[in-house]
Structure 1
């Protein structure tokens, strides 16, 4: 399964910090959504369940999601909806309607910076084929007139209506977080309580490792020419928590002495110009965390901090000023207990 990136965000790399593997830990890994996925978990002590049964359930769920949410295949539910050039109500999968509504809450709270319909702008700037092509103001105006999540109406739990016939939606900015939650649900249905589930660097944990130690995750330093650890996040309490990170420091274009980010602001249709190079959010729901990570990368630390505090969200912003990395924590992150950020 592959979701084509709508804002060209590159999730910050994560490294699971652990001792040598314990025999009690089970592992499942594979390829989905254009990236890898990894599950590390402890089966219940009284369970004789073969790991292969869980692996099959995971594969079947990813394949099912692929048929509903993937933009790369013409027969998916989302692409069948996109292909219909009509303003009549269309029946779709309830799962798609649910994701649209989750995204709508983030769209409104981010003052429209986050938007599921932005792909035409992404293509206009040449990001689709990795060929940077700044558009004219006229072309930009035409593209802006063809997007906007407010032009998508939720009729009921299984129907959506376009107000613009050519409107298209892309859930790549929320899809990986949602897939994490779906895989977590499968593990929990099999009685698993201690786990780390990760797709493309977006992850959720619960409980502890088999040796009783906390899960620890390393965040990469947000610099384009370095692959070093910047922070180590320790999930000391073991409470369910997702960690999602997005960054601008690897995907950009330099043109005539100016650097352009791959992140587009849906309000202006142009690449963002703030100095925020990395955003990390801790959230109990990986789906919301995924959407908010994208939104805060669009907003940047100055505007994003106000939104994060208003929404009581635990967010770490990192700005680059010259050779310096400046960290800014939201109020919720400052007061969060059970999770600690440490220097390597």
Structure 2
């Protein structure tokens, strides 16, 4: 049985008669991006080279400011800044960091953009990676030392000045991709393009509808390798003024002997997750929010995560491993989107 999720609010603007879907795509942030947009039948800019260039420039800006893979990014410079120094952040970086710190506070530290040293130690950063020869998981003593050394930044959101106390490594990989999706959407809006589907590395945002009047239908991500008979029924979402992001422990992981380590680190313990959550999907008006919250709720686990989702009014699907089967838990806000 396939279930359907529908937006609570509808935009009644329709594509012009004779419009067609055009596709643009490229590479950024270590992954691919694509845009499907509805173009007027008359000669216009929607499918032109300057729109392609404009979209790529939006992504290049995110990389330039927030990549922890590029040493010369603004984030890279902050991570190398002298202890006790203050750094002035550009606007986009400041917007994302401010939101990430808000999610960190609301989640009780289950989400932390300042946990880059732990992410790096477990091989999920730009160097000494888990999939490279010679990698070894950090010893318990090393994890304890990193936790004890991790400081807290001060961030003045009004001036976008941030204090580097020393040893803080920012990592915005669990929010910057979602922000990039939002940024592409805002760029298309600014160009007068009202009907589109944006995707960056599997995270999506849709607006308007297709030329036939149908919304941009997408399937919520299923757990890779799961037996269809053991997995909850498929769920299809009309991406109309909505974004969706999924965090899953099946995406990146490694085995160290008999232990399987997932790529999501609990910043409170410094250890990879072991809470049986296979995936957490968040549907939200902002892809940045869907991205960050899917990670935070994954770390919290089903009980605390569902409670926080209810408190914050978040539309969330949790999928938990139960032996060979999978159990599904839906927040009230997601249930409200279900077409009965």
TM-score, with length taken from structure 2 = 0.85
Query: SS in structure 2 opposite 1:267?
Result: coil
Q: Give runs of aligned pairs for residues 168-187 of structure 1, distance below 5 A.
A: 168-187=169-188
What's 1:135 paired with?
A: 138
Distance (Å, rounded) in 2 between the aligned partners of 1:263 and 1:232: 24
CA deviation after TM superposition for structure 1 residue 51, in Å: 2.0
Distance (Å, rounded) in 1 between the aligned partners of 2:324 and 2:33: 33
Give yes or no for the alignment of 1:147 onto 2:147.
Answer: no
Query: SS in structure 2 opposite 1:305?
Result: helix
Describe the shift of the 1:184–1:322 C-alpha distance in structure 2 as closer, same or farther (beyond 3 A): same
- What's the CA shift string for 1:112-152, capped at 9, x where partnerless? 0111121211222344411663433321121112335xx11
Q: Give runs of aligned pairs for residues 3-152 of structure 1, distance below 5 A.
A: 24-44=20-40, 48-49=44-45, 51-128=48-125, 129-130=129-130, 133-147=136-150, 151-152=152-153
Q: What's the Cα RMSD here?
A: 2.4
- How many residues get paired? 313
- Bigger mean CA offset, 41-50 vs 225-234: 225-234
Alignment gaps of 5+ in structure 2: 1-17
What's 1:269 paired with?
A: 270
Distance (Å, rounded) in 2 between the aligned partners of 1:134 and 1:67: 30
- Bigger mean CA offset, 171-180 vs 84-93: 84-93
Distance (Å, rounded) in 2 between the aligned partners of 1:320 and 1:223: 12
- Bigger mean CA offset, 270-279 vs 114-123: 114-123
CA deviation after TM superposition for structure 1 residue 67, in Å: 1.6
Describe the shift of the 1:74–1:134 C-alpha distance in structure 2 as closer, same or farther (beyond 3 A): closer
What's 1:215 paired with?
A: 216
Describe the shift of the 1:46–1:223 C-alpha distance in structure 2 as closer, same or farther (beyond 3 A): closer
Distance (Å, rounded) in 2 between the aligned partners of 1:30 and 1:226: 33
What's 1:6 paired with?
A: none
Describe the shift of the 1:247–1:340 C-alpha distance in structure 2 as closer, same or farther (beyond 3 A): farther
Distance (Å, rounded) in 1 between the aligned partners of 2:61 and 2:272: 34
Query: SS in structure 1 opposite 2:234?
Result: strand
What's 1:8 paired with?
A: none
